[in-house]
Every structure is written in C-alpha cells, then in structure tokens.
C-alpha cells in the first residue's frame, strides 16, 4: 500500500463502524449526506448519454445470448416424464438433500428470497440519472443492459424457488409470504438517483452474491448434493459476469472523472453497503434479516471478512491506491479512507468476534423451516 493510502486520523473519524455482533449489514439508519461527486445531476445525465456508444461496446457484450443461457429446467426434474418417473426424480432430489442441515436451508431460503425481490432491483437501477429506461423498452444501451440483466437474474430466484419447493425441506407458504412482504417493502441503500453511487453499489453486490452462492455451492457439495452444488455454482458464475460489467463501468468513471468516482466509492462505503434484502420480513420475526445474516455468517456463506475482502478486491480492481493526478484535496482524503478501510473493518471485526465468543449463543425459530430453532 502506498503511503498516501494510510488511514489518517481524520479519515478514521469518517469510518462508519458496522453495527451489531454480525457486522456485515446495517438494516436501517445508514449514513445520510449529500453526495459530493463533482458533477451535478444534469452533467451526469449528459455524461452517461455520451457513454452510450462505450456501453454498447463494453457492457452489452457481457450479456449472454438467451440461446446460450442455462434455464432453471436444465437442473430440475423433467415434468415431461411419466408421473412415476417424475416422482422418482423428485425422490432422488429429496434423498440428495437429506444430509443438508436446517441452517443450510435457512441460508438458501434467504438467498432465494433476496433473488426473488428482483422487481425492486430493476426499479432501483431505473432511478439512476442518465441510465434509466425512459419508456420501458428504450433502445438506450443502459436500458437494454438493465432489462437483459434483470432477465438473466430472474432465472436465479426461479431455479432456487423450484428446487426448494421440490425438496420438501421448507415451509413454502412462509417463504412466499416473505417474498411478498419484501417486494412490498422495497429497499433503500441511499443511492440518491446517482449512477456513480449506484454502480459502486451494484459492483459490490454482484461480488457479494458471487461469493455467497459460491459458498452455498461448496457446502452443498460437502453435504452430498452435487446437483444443488451445480445450481448454486451456475448462479455464482452469472453473478461474476455481472460483477465484471458493473466494475467496468466504475473503472470508466474513474478514467473520466477520477475525483468524482473516488468520492462516490468513499461515500458508498461510509454509508456501509446495505444488503438488498435488508427489509426482509415474514410477518413474525421483526429481525428476520439480522437472524438470517447471522446464520450466513456462522456457516461462512457470507461474513464480515467477505465484506472486507470485497472492498479490498475492488480497491485493487479499480487501482484506487495508484490514483494520483486528477484528485483534489477531498479526493485524496476519500482515496486514503477507502484504501485503509478494509484493514480497519478487519480490526473491528476481530474485536467484535472476541466479544461474541464471550456471549451466550442464541437460538432463534425460523418460520421457513417450520419454526424449528437454529443457533445464531
Ligand atoms: Fe442473482
Ligand atoms: Fe446479481
């Protein structure tokens, strides 16, 4: 790390300490401030308009043609089979899940519910100035991307939902109720219609989902279900491709407007990255999201360490430590803050882990698994 990226005392004061024992998310009350990106909204719209040709050449190729995409049906029992053979496929599916734990299913349901709130995410991206779909079928490459990205993502929730339904391991009615509540609630990650913040957020999120689906794949394999491992694996691969697209957009912003872009990265991290399903509710547990996150943390599916790793990865991917000319004083402060943050999060997490070890373990009932208890 370059000397300029050491965390200064002032930058340290700007760190928002993640809340709670399981610090990967903050469900509400995140940092509020007007973003100090250097361009005004009108200039941003102009800029993204001028980048349409670039987006067509550099972002759209990261979509996969529908004909080359996997579909949920590729991984599920084939309903064209005679009833007895179909039932046999379902029986085998259930047999394969037998060794997977209740807590694994809690995490898989939480992941599926998160994927299923896709209408919220498409809406959120359509709030970004300069890239929103003005008609619903706009030919702008930004709008084309958003619709096709949504269509690719839509397969994730579909596949996980059908798998969970066939597994018989979860209370589908409670899962469905959670999805309805969540879509009804929306999300508020504090992006202020600003595509700079928006694409930093989506870069982070795609990598977070890549990591968590990769970990559910690994656990499925270890637990004796190679088909579920493949399911989670192909979803993770999509997330990786989407991460590439969003990080490429931020890379372009850093090239054209390094000061504005690094301020956006810093602003986003100061708010802390709120997970997309932070308003999750099943009608019973007001802390459902925190409880699901705690189980994901304990199983190693998505942890505070992953949060710091993602940040570190993005700092490297975007070459933030090397940004030199083009930054003013405020930009350099933002650079220092962002480049030192992962280390600081890790230190705070170590202390939180120490405290957590001394606390009594709590068990919570999850409606998704028929009110059985899971240790957090
Ligand atoms: Fe997804
Ligand atoms: Fe995604």
pLDDT (tens digit per residue) in 130-146: 999 999 999 999 999 99
Rounded to the nearest 10°, the torsion over CA 60, 65, 68, 69 is 80
Distance CA 64, CA 170 (A): 32
CB of 248 closer than 8 Å to CB of 267: no
156 CA from centroid of ligand 1 (Å): 5
Distance CA 306, CA 254 (A): 24
Which active-site residues does the annotation give?
70, 115, 153, 156, 206, 209, 238-239, 242
Stated pTM of the model: 0.89
> Where residue 355 falls among pLDDT bands split at 50, 70, 90?
confident
150 CA from centroid of ligand 2 (Å): 9
Give the residue numbers of the binding site.
115, 153, 156, 206, 239, 242
**Strand-pair partners of 69:** none
Q: Is the pLDDT of residue 11 over 90?
A: no
Which ligand is located closest to the Cα atom of residue 155?
A: 1
Q: Rounded to the nearest 5°, which phi and psi values hold at 366? A: -115, 125
Q: Is the pLDDT of residue 37 over 60?
A: no
Give the residue numbers of the binding site for Fe cation.
115, 153, 156, 206, 239, 242
Concatenating the DSSP letter of every residue in 66-129 gives GGGS--GGGGS--TTS-HHHHHHHHHHHHHHHTTS-HHHHHHHHHHHHHHHTHHHHHHHHTTST
201 CA from centroid of ligand 2 (Å): 11
Would you state the structure tokens that stand for residue 20, as one six-digit string? 């709670």
Per-residue pLDDT at 241: 98
235 CA from centroid of ligand 1 (Å): 7
Per-residue pLDDT at 357: 82
Which ligand is located closest to the Cα atom of residue 243?
A: 2
> Where residue 36 falls among pLDDT bands split at 50, 70, 90?
low
Would you state the structure tokens that stand for residue 27, as one six-digit string? 């469900």
* pLDDT averaged over every residue in the chain: 89
Would you state the structure tokens that stand for residue 121, as one six-digit string? 């995410």
Would you state the structure tokens that stand for residue 231, as one six-digit string? 């399911």
């Amino acid at each position: 790390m370059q000397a300029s990226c050491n965390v200064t005392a002032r930058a340290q004061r700007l760190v928002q300490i993640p809340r709670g024992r399981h610090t990967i998310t903050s469900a509400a009350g995140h940092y509020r401030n007007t973003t100090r990106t250097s361009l005004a909204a009108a200039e941003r719209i102009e800029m993204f308009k001028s980048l349409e040709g670039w987006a067509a050449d550099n972002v759209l190729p990261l979509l996969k043609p529908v004909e080359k995409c996997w579909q949920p049906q590729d991984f599920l029992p084939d309903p064209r089979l005679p009833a007895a053979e179909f039932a046999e496929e379902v029986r085998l599916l259930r047999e394969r899940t037998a060794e997977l734990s209740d807590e694994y299913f809690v995490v898989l349901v939480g992941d599926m519910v998160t994927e299923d709130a896709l209408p919220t995410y498409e809406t959120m991206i359509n709030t970004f100035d300069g890239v929103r779909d003005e008609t619903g079928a706009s030919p702008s490459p930004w709008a084309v991307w958003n619709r096709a990205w949504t269509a690719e993502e839509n397969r994730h929730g579909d596949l996980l939902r059908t798998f969970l339904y066939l597994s018989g391991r979860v209370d589908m009615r409670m899962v469905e109720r959670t999805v309805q509540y969540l879509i009804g609630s929306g999300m508020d990650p504090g992006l202020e219609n600003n595509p700079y913040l928006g694409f930093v957020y989506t870069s982070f999120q795609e990598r977070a989902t890549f990591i968590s689906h990769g970990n559910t794949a690994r656990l499925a394999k270890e637990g004796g279900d190679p088909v579920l491992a493949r399911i989670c694996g192909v979803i993770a691969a999509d997330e990786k491709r989407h991460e590439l697209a969003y990080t490429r957009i931020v890379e372009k912003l850093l090239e054209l407007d390094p000061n504005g872009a690094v301020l956006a990265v810093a602003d986003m991290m100061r708010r802390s990255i709120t997970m997309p399903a932070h308003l999750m509710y099943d009608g019973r547990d007001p802390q459902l999201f925190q409880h699901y996150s705690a189980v994901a943390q304990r199983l190693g599916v998505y942890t505070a360490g992953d949060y710091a790793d993602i940040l570190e990865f993005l700092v490297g991917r975007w070459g933030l430590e090397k940004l030199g000319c083009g930054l003013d004083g405020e930009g350099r402060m933002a650079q220092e803050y962002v480049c030192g943050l992962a280390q600081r999060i890790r230190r705070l997490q170590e202390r939180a882990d120490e405290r957590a070890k001394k606390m009594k373990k709590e068990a919570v009932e999850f409606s998704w698994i028929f009110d059985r208890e899971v240790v957090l």
